Amino acid sequence: MPNPKTPPITPFSIELEAWLKSDKPKTLHGLDEVFAEKSFAVLFLILLAIPALPVPTGGLTHIFEIIAMLLALEVIVGREGLWLPKRWKNLPLGSVMEKRVLPTLIKYIKKLERFSRPRLNSFLHNKLSFGLFGVSVLIFSLAAFLAPPFSGLDTLPALAVVMLSLGVILEDVVLTFIGIVLGAIGIALIISLGEIVLKLIGG
């Protein structure tokens, strides 16, 4: 029988929603303080949510993608604590993120949590797999950054990072696999479009 004294696990969507409604500073450092254990994955999720969701970006897309790439390098080298320049660490998420992006993201996460469950979570917690997680985030963030402006092709690589991050946060390896597939398709589309553009220019 389950231990009656063991408190139920709070769904991640509820934790994120509570932080959003709280008086705590809505900065990258604020996220790190609240979600310390999984702060890297949560930050990747938030940073790449802007290009992944069909909402106005307010011109922050490339800034957040660059920050995500820097954090991915920290994951790859095995850094346990988050490091960012003070200016970036205290960067406000902004009204677009707080009022549009995060509420929309929370809505989708709640739907996903109905079907997701811990699967092969031990695989997601060793150093090698977490390093590969960092490599994947770096590659897909770079792809989103390099996608032609206003083409919408940054959506799939960014969504791949969101799914990968949710896989780590929810401890569901199936979500990480879906993220890798989405990222591979996104990169293939970016390369294909690039070849078409080069042929048109050459022609």
The Cα–Cα gap between 111 and 89 comes to: 30
Q: What element of type H or E holds 146?
A: helix 127-146
Find all residues with CB under 8 Å of 147, minimum gap 6, and list them: 153, 154, 157, 190
The Cα–Cα gap between 185 and 179 comes to: 10
Long-range contacts of 59-62 (CB under 8 A, 24+ apart): 60/94, 60/96, 60/97, 61/144, 61/154, 62/145
Maximum Cα interatomic distance, the chain, rounded to a whole number of Å: 72
pLDDT at position 1 is 43
pLDDT at position 198 is 67
Number of other residues whose CB lies within 10 A of the CB of residue 114: 8
pLDDT at position 127 is 79
Selection from 90, 91, 53, 84 nearest residue 69 by Cα:
84
Find all residues with CB under 8 Å of 14, minimum gap 6, and list them: none
Joined tokens for residue 193: 């479009």
pLDDT at position 6 is 45
- Only one residue has tokens 């960067």, namely 91
The Cα–Cα gap between 162 and 43 comes to: 10
Selection from 23, 27, 76 nearest residue 47 by Cα:
27
The Cα–Cα gap between 146 and 190 comes to: 9
Number of other residues whose CB lies within 10 A of the CB of residue 127: 8
The Cα–Cα gap between 26 and 21 comes to: 10
Q: Which residues of the chain have pLDDT under 70?
A: 1-8, 37, 54-60, 120-125, 150, 197-198, 202-203
